[in-house]
Chain A
Amino acid sequence: MLNGFLALLLCQLLGELVVLASGVPVPGPVVGMVLLLLALVVFKRTPKSVRLVSEGLLRHLAFLYVPAGVGLMVHLEMISHYWLAILVALLVSTFVTLLVTVLIFRLLGRLNGPTKGSSALSGSSGEAK
């Protein structure tokens, strides 16, 4: 368990170092995630300790959002100014995003043509029912 936690922290540190050295505009932990993924692909399996810590962290991911979320209070005045614009922007954009993503799947399914519909995606579920 401690091994796993150390592995995650080391990946994050390496990620931060890569970002610092290269100046790419990506958060350090994201680079750390890529590094860990590469390591897992090379080793072809997830060590038990890494899995234990990762699943523990991800199961309680929602809880980790709370401190940053409470930071909204700093912006209460600004939000009371712009709340309508922000709300409309979020509503429209989220709706369009859902729409476009589904349509792309449909389009690519069609492009694959008669060779068994929407390819591997529909294989395991849904459509067949």
Chain B
Amino acid sequence: MEFWVYFAAKPLFWLIVTLAVFMFALALNRRSGGTPFLHPVLVSMAVIISFLLVTGTRYETYFEGAQFIHFLLGPATVALAVPLFDHFERIKKMWFVLLVACISGAVTAIVSVLLVGLMFDLPTEVLLSLAPKSVTSPIAIGIVEKIGGYPSLAAGLVLITGAMGCLMSALVFKLLNVTDDAVKGFTLGLAAHGFGTAYAFETSAVAGAFAGLAMGMTGLLTAFLLPVVISLMGFN
């Protein structure tokens, strides 16, 4: 027991736990055929949260180790510029259609979630944490830190949204008879960020590329649009 007390206070221990659990979750997801229900991030969260609760460890203690992983979200966000640049020629050619689709989709995502939340009388901080739910986590966390919600709640809600988007996309595409892989990919990346992008790559390379593009554009646009929409809707 004494060594537990010793190691549990070390950043190294929680780094190893995070990495080991994630690798287990990856293997589990691969074995289950990649279903969004068993997304490695969702599984890792559930396992680590359970472990912390059982051992009576505080989140702050865990985060002292995990912060080194968390820090990399910053440079990873900057790195999104590389795939955007890769598709720059294609973007230039159809910038107008993509921009209109992206703005309408991003605004719909924000306004619709806020309206439903308001109908249920959710507290303001929860609403603000819900607002960037269609944006990839590193950007959503940054946005929520700025507008005043709970960044860690936002991160979790973003992940759940991603899984939902993948599950519902098949229904929507069938309902509206969508056959164009570029449209499928862009829609997935816009509504379901990284999860949607990974899912789109399973359809085709074209779908994946457009999904990655949509994820980058939606993150960028939402970072600028969200504060405006929120003040228009009467929050802070």
A residues near B (Cβ < 8 Å) are 5, 8-9, 11-12, 15, 25-30, 32-34, 36-37, 40-41, 46, 50-51, 53-55, 57-58, 61-75, 78-79, 82, 84-86, 88-106, 108, 118-122, 124-127, 129
Contacts and interface: CB of A to CB of B under 8 A. Distances in A.
A64 B138 contact: yes
Given A32-B78, A101-B191, A90 B180 contact: no
Contacts of B157: 86, 90
Nearest to A72: B156
Interface residues of B, number: 109
B168 A95 contact: yes
Nearest to B219: A30
Interface centre among A29, A75, A94, A127 (most CB of B within 10 A): A94
The 7 closest A-B pairs by CB, nearest first: A27-B142, A71-B152, A126-B180, A67-B66, A85-B120, A54-B79, A29-B77
Contact of B77 (A27, A46, A72): A27
A5 B75 CA distance: 8
Contacts of A63: 19, 22, 40-41, 69
A92 B109 CA distance: 10
A26 B180 contact: no
A9 B39 CA distance: 29
Contact of B145 (A27, A69, A95): A27
Interface string B188-216: 00111010001000001011000000001
A88 to B, nearest CB: 6
B160 A90 contact: yes
22 contacts: A5-B75, A15-B78, A29-B73, A58-B82, A63-B41, A65-B41, A65-B194, A67-B62, A68-B70, A72-B45, A72-B153, A82-B120, A85-B121, A86-B117, A90-B113, A95-B172, A97-B134, A105-B187, A121-B97, A125-B204, A126-B183, A127-B180
A67 B66 CA distance: 6
A8 B78 contact: yes
A81 to B, nearest CB: 9
Contacts of B109: 93-94, 97
B183 A98 contact: no
Interface of B: 18-19, 21-22, 39-42, 44-45, 48-49, 52-53, 59, 62-63, 66-67, 69-70, 72-86, 88, 90, 93-94, 97, 100-101, 104-105, 108-109, 112-113, 116-117, 120-123, 126, 130, 133-134, 136-139, 141-143, 145-147, 150-153, 155-157, 159-161, 164-165, 168-169, 172-173, 176, 178-184, 186-187, 190-192, 194, 198, 204, 206-207, 216, 219-220, 223-224, 227
B192 A101 contact: no
A57 B223 CA distance: 21
Contacts of A28: 74, 142
Residues of B contacting A: mostly: helix
A23 B176 CA distance: 42
Interface centre among A50, A62, A85, A104 (most CB of B within 10 A): A62
A60 to B, nearest CB: 9
A71 B158 CA distance: 13
A85 B182 CA distance: 33
Given A12-B74, A73-B59, 7 more contacts: A5-B75, A69-B155, A75-B150, A97-B105, A99-B176, A104-B100, A108-B100
